[in-house]
A and B are shown apart, each in its own frame.
Chain A
Amino acid sequence: MNFRYINCHTHIFNVKCAPDRFIGLPVARLLASNRTALGAVHGLMRVGEVLPFLKTGTRESIEKMRSFLKIGTNRSQEGVFELLRSNYSFGPISYVALTLNMDHMGAGKALIPFSTQLSQVADLKIIYKEDLIPFVSIDPRSGSPDQLLQLVQDCIEKKAFGGIKMYPPLGFYPFDPRLEKVYAYAQEYGIPILTHVSKGGIFYQGDHIPLDFLEPISFGGDRARWTSVEGVEGAVMDFSKNVRDTRRFLGKTWGKGRRNEEFKVHFSDPRNYHVVLKKFPRLKLCMAHFGGDESISEFIDQQKAGTPDPLNWHHIICEILRSYPQTYADVSYALWQPKVWPRMSECIDPPKGLQRDISDRILFGTDYYMTIQEESEVNLVNNFRKAIGNERFKKIAVDNARQYLEHRAPLISGTIH
């Protein structure tokens, strides 16, 4: 066998890398800080009769949360990576491990700052070589544009990282001008970028709302403008209205009303990438989660009803993929939902008569270990693989993935023959 499967979307950072308030639920936070308590919960779950008052669904939810925390509280990133590998009986397989810079998400301080997380992953690359393909996470708030570029160059060229990871809901827009140099570098060398495009996931938790959240600035220092939305094309992006007008939410709010969680969709909106791709049309950009399982489900329902919504995120992503030949989407996290499987099959291998234009740019990924909250990694992969068939699976996990990960950036010592 002369090929290698690639899971293009996994995480191996542990709870030490996450800030204090990364885990929202106080009980979960307590369990994350105490493995003995976590073991006790497991014990109680095993003897289910002890908790007869819990409904089966609740018990399952607790068990899933426990499984998630058990992986997350592993001593090291290497431990999490080993757990990931233990789920795969087929291979050989490589894993794209997406690092995550959570230093600026306003959720407190992490025991391990991002620099240490990165350093540990770089060490793991030396040990696991082809099996591990780390992506360096970038956040425009973490340094000057030159420092960001230097970080990316250092990771790609000296530490053999495979690409760049972005997670805008942590509090930045993808068209942030501070990212311009990184985009230019990535476009020049065909370095893959993977960005979070789904309505779920973690988000900025800071107490204050910076002005550039409400009136974002784009490349060249100008106010960001919509580029391809019907009716508002060319209009300035202004989210301050949403903040002022939404006062009905309770709980932690931003001054005039809008909750952080509600606001995060502005950061992860796929329309933001029109701005980026207009300037960098050859950027190798993967929109993770394909818009998220909710958007895909809605898209399926709308298709059935014959009432397509041009603002549906999955639809927008498909349009982006059609417009920009270097853009990709991965099925991570969304693949847990059986409802989306036929749609995935359709995208990977469209029925006769439909365009095949995006089928080469769908990637396989699971979003380990975030998905443990829905399904075990083994079941997730096996069920999905069975549903779409081996050929399609090979296409997205081998051929498309290899094409996506290939880049021309020089490694410090070059390539030897």
Chain B
Amino acid sequence: MNALLEVAISMALVYTLLSILVSYITEAWQRWKRTRGAVLRKSLETLLNDPFNKNFCELLYEHPLIRAQRKNDNHQPSYISTSLFVTAITDVLRREAVRPHIFMTTDGSTHVDEPVNRNPYEDIRLGIQSLAYSPLKVQLLSLMSETTDESSLLSRFGAWYDEYQQEVSSRFKSKARVKTMIISMLVAVIVNVDSISLVHELYRNKEMRAIVVEAAEQYVMTHSAPETPAAEDSTGTTTTVSAEEELRILRERIDEVETYLGSFGLPIGWTRDACGAQITVEPGVMGFVKEFAAILKCKFTSSSFDQMVLTIIGWVMTAIALSFGAPFWFDLLNKFVAMRSGRTRPQSQNPAT
């Protein structure tokens, strides 16, 4: 029973460390591809779709309030707060009815005069009513019919946006899950973490198990629950991370994984494999790719069919485990360690998503 628990602790530690790496790579990928910004834009295109009037999403994105969120011409904000959305969209709608006056003086110069002392609630209503019939107009009018003044209108629009964003968020998460799964698989193969052989080795090797369990206990004591990496803060706004910073953080994550896993003598990685020793290491990315391809070829040509299948199943199991995420494995690790030592450790203050 104790041996099984120790194996579970060891596996949870391995999965925790690797899933931190996976979640970091996933986030970095999303940051680089600007996935969140693109998903938000697409979702707003759908929400404000109006084939009979204007592209209100474009007008919203070109509104000075939203434009201010952009870092450069190619950047799309990954997050638009409810208040910002409501203020900008109501202003866009208001401008359908009320536009600044343009005056020309006799010398040919142009002057602009913004109308004053108007009722914003009525202006928004007029703006919506001025639109040609469309599903969006019907939607906006029905939202408006539930309100009596500007403040109730703003909160109703806010609730409408929030409800929609929740739906979008769940759609985004399900897409992100697929990406996480793919990256997990890549990590499992590149790092060569075959869960079946790992469990087998840990169960068989008592000394190795003891070292890993001790490290796991240390890890739990010294670390808090892992957070989503620097790309997003709690409000979802993207922070700027340079390419150098990105690489530095990635290097740190890899070093941490190496420090822990490398010192245990676990059957992880390629160089410890019989094949790895036969390959000459070349510098650079191409060298790495060549080396990796040669190792894979060597591994599969020197293995029997059954071994090959088992290895692939082991990788898939690792990938599935890693896709659960670092917080899940850290939490489990915490529970296993507590179970073994007969004490409970306080839960982390900041559980990540």
Q: Which residues of A contact B (CB under 8 A)?
A: 16, 35, 74-76, 78-79, 111-113, 115-116, 119-120, 122, 125-126, 129-130, 158-160, 411-417
Interface centre among B73, B111, B113 (most CB of A within 10 A): B73
Stretch from B54-62, B140-148, B321-329 at the A interface: B54-62
CB contact under 8 A between A411 and B103, given known A75-B73, A113-B54, A130-B109? yes
Contacts of A416 in B (CB 8 A): 103-105, 111
CA distance A47 to B76 in the complex (A): 30
CA distance A45 to B259 in the complex (A): 45
**Nearest chain B residue, comparing its CB with the CB of A128:** B110
Interface centre among B102, B104, B106 (most CB of A within 10 A): B102
Contact of A122 among B55, B99, B111 (CB under 8 A): B99
CB distance from B179 to the nearest CB of A (A): 19
Whether the pair B59, A129 counts as a contact (CB closer than 8 A) is: no
Whether the pair A119, B59 counts as a contact (CB closer than 8 A) is: yes
Task: Count contacts on B: residues with CB < 8 A to the other chain.
Answer: 23
CA distance A115 to B109 in the complex (A): 27
Q: Which residues of B contact A (CB under 8 A)?
A: 51, 53-55, 58-59, 62, 73-74, 99-106, 108-113
CA distance A316 to B104 in the complex (A): 37
CB distance from A349 to the nearest CB of B (A): 26
CB contact under 8 A between A74 and B73, given known A411-B104, A416-B105? yes
Contacts of B104 in A (CB 8 A): 160, 411, 415-416
**Nearest chain A residue, comparing its CB with the CB of B74:** A35
Interface centre among A75, A130, A415 (most CB of B within 10 A): A75
**Nearest chain A residue, comparing its CB with the CB of B51:** A113
Whether the pair A112, B55 counts as a contact (CB closer than 8 A) is: yes
CA distance A16 to B73 in the complex (A): 14
Task: Report 18 cross-chain contacts, Cβ distance below 8 Å, ordered by A residue.
Answer: A35-B74, A76-B62, A78-B62, A111-B58, A113-B54, A113-B55, A116-B54, A120-B58, A125-B102, A126-B100, A129-B111, A130-B109, A160-B104, A160-B110, A412-B101, A412-B102, A416-B103, A416-B111
CA distance A111 to B112 in the complex (A): 30
**Nearest chain B residue, comparing its CB with the CB of A417:** B106
CA distance A111 to B108 in the complex (A): 35
Whether the pair B102, A159 counts as a contact (CB closer than 8 A) is: yes
Whether the pair B62, A120 counts as a contact (CB closer than 8 A) is: yes
CB contact under 8 A between A413 and B103, given known A74-B73, A116-B58, A119-B54? yes
Whether the pair A126, B112 counts as a contact (CB closer than 8 A) is: yes
Apart from A112-B55, A158-B102: 20 A-B pairs, beta carbons within 8 A: A16-B58, A111-B55, A112-B58, A115-B53, A116-B55, A116-B59, A119-B54, A119-B59, A120-B62, A129-B109, A130-B108, A159-B99, A160-B102, A160-B110, A411-B103, A412-B102, A413-B102, A413-B103, A415-B103, A416-B111
**Nearest chain B residue, comparing its CB with the CB of A406:** B108
CB contact under 8 A between A75 and B74, given known A116-B58, A122-B99? yes
**Nearest chain A residue, comparing its CB with the CB of B92:** A119
Whether the pair A417, B105 counts as a contact (CB closer than 8 A) is: yes
CB distance from A251 to the nearest CB of B (A): 30
Contacts of B73 in A (CB 8 A): 74-75, 79
Contacts of B103 in A (CB 8 A): 411, 413-416
CA distance A75 to B76 in the complex (A): 10
CA distance A352 to B59 in the complex (A): 55
CB distance from A64 to the nearest CB of B (A): 22
**Nearest chain A residue, comparing its CB with the CB of B113:** A413
CA distance A116 to B61 in the complex (A): 12
CA distance A216 to B100 in the complex (A): 41
CB distance from A286 to the nearest CB of B (A): 20
Interface centre among A119, A125, A159 (most CB of B within 10 A): A119
Contact of A130 among B55, B100, B110 (CB under 8 A): B110
Contacts of B106 in A (CB 8 A): 415, 417
Contacts of A159 in B (CB 8 A): 99, 102
CB distance from B113 to the nearest CB of A (A): 7
CA distance A122 to B112 in the complex (A): 12
Contacts of B105 in A (CB 8 A): 415-417
CA distance A130 to B54 in the complex (A): 26
Contacts of A16 in B (CB 8 A): 58
CB distance from B160 to the nearest CB of A (A): 22
CA distance A113 to B55 in the complex (A): 7
Contacts of B111 in A (CB 8 A): 129, 416
Contacts of A125 in B (CB 8 A): 102
**Nearest chain B residue, comparing its CB with the CB of A36:** B74
Interface centre among B58, B74, B111 (most CB of A within 10 A): B58
CB distance from A116 to the nearest CB of B (A): 4
CB distance from A101 to the nearest CB of B (A): 13
CA distance A75 to B73 in the complex (A): 6
Contacts of B55 in A (CB 8 A): 111-113, 116
CB distance from A11 to the nearest CB of B (A): 18
Contacts of A112 in B (CB 8 A): 55, 58
**Nearest chain B residue, comparing its CB with the CB of A133:** B110
Contacts of B102 in A (CB 8 A): 125-126, 158-160, 411-413
CA distance A415 to B101 in the complex (A): 11
CB distance from B103 to the nearest CB of A (A): 5
CA distance A187 to B256 in the complex (A): 78
CA distance A304 to B83 in the complex (A): 70
**Nearest chain A residue, comparing its CB with the CB of B132:** A115
**Nearest chain B residue, comparing its CB with the CB of A125:** B102
Contacts of B100 in A (CB 8 A): 126
Contacts of A126 in B (CB 8 A): 100, 102, 112
**Nearest chain A residue, comparing its CB with the CB of B100:** A126
Whether the pair B99, A158 counts as a contact (CB closer than 8 A) is: yes
CA distance A377 to B59 in the complex (A): 29
CA distance A126 to B115 in the complex (A): 13
CA distance A283 to B54 in the complex (A): 31
CA distance A129 to B112 in the complex (A): 8
**Nearest chain A residue, comparing its CB with the CB of B114:** A126
Contacts of B53 in A (CB 8 A): 115
Contacts of A414 in B (CB 8 A): 103
CB contact under 8 A between A413 and B54, given known A75-B74, A76-B62? no
CA distance A159 to B110 in the complex (A): 11
CA distance A414 to B111 in the complex (A): 11
CA distance A113 to B108 in the complex (A): 32
Whether the pair B112, A413 counts as a contact (CB closer than 8 A) is: no
